[in-house]
Amino acid sequence: MAIVLAVVSGTSAAPAQPPEPSPSLVPAVTDRLPLPLPRTFERREDIQPFQQTVRFTIGNEEKEGYAEIAVPARHRLVIEHVSALMQGPSGQRYFASLRTTVRREETSWHYLVLSPQYSGAGIDVYAAAQPMRAYADPDGLPMRFSVSRGMDDSGTVSVDATVSGYLLDRW
């Protein structure tokens, strides 16, 4: 059996320090200022909440119904959420959409995903609660929430829909 002994000197070298970066590589304080925010998000009070509910019916032997929602002049509506509730005769299917226009020429349709909620006593109920990011301007075609139904157009369908978001001043 062998025993190994080590002798340690009473003096030790100072730990190595990392080299200091060259002053030309360190960004100046002015280089690290935050990026400017767009004018529309400078202050929280610039954002005006918007929420509107529309109600309409699709009459017996009609295929579609709709309601228009006005966007205030000199504003852009940023839509964050749309919800809808349809109640009609059993066995019918529905198709719901929101039409918006931006800069008078860009018209888009935003489709909602409907889910069955209740069925009984000759009535079916469908609902949608959908977050989205869409935009609407007051010029061009008006914003429209519409619901269509399939081949069976008997009976009356009632529709409630809410669009919510916020208004931005147009510059």
Instruction: Judge whether 95 and 149 are in contact, CB under 8 Å.
Output: yes
pLDDT of residue 12: 52
pLDDT digits (tens, 9 = 90+) for 120-149: 999 999 999 999 999 999 988 899 999 999
pLDDT digits (tens, 9 = 90+) for 54-105: 999 999 999 999 999 999 999 999 999 999 999 999 999 999 999 999 988 8
Using a cut of 0.85, tell me whether the model's pTM lies above it.
no
CATH topology of domain 47-132+144-169: Jelly Rolls (2.60.120)
- Quote the tokens at residue 69: 């929602």
Q: How many Å apart are CA 18 and CA 29, to the nearest integer?
A: 23
pLDDT of residue 147: 97
For 10, residues 6+ apart whose C-beta sits below 8 A from its C-beta are: none
Higher pLDDT residue, 157 or 20? 157
Mean pLDDT of the chain: 83
Phi, psi torsion values for 5, nearest 5 degrees:
-115, 145
In 27-154, beta strands by DSSP E: 48-58, 64-69, 75-89, 94-102, 106-111, 115-120, 123-136, 143-149
Higher pLDDT residue, 26 or 130? 130
Higher pLDDT residue, 20 or 35? 20
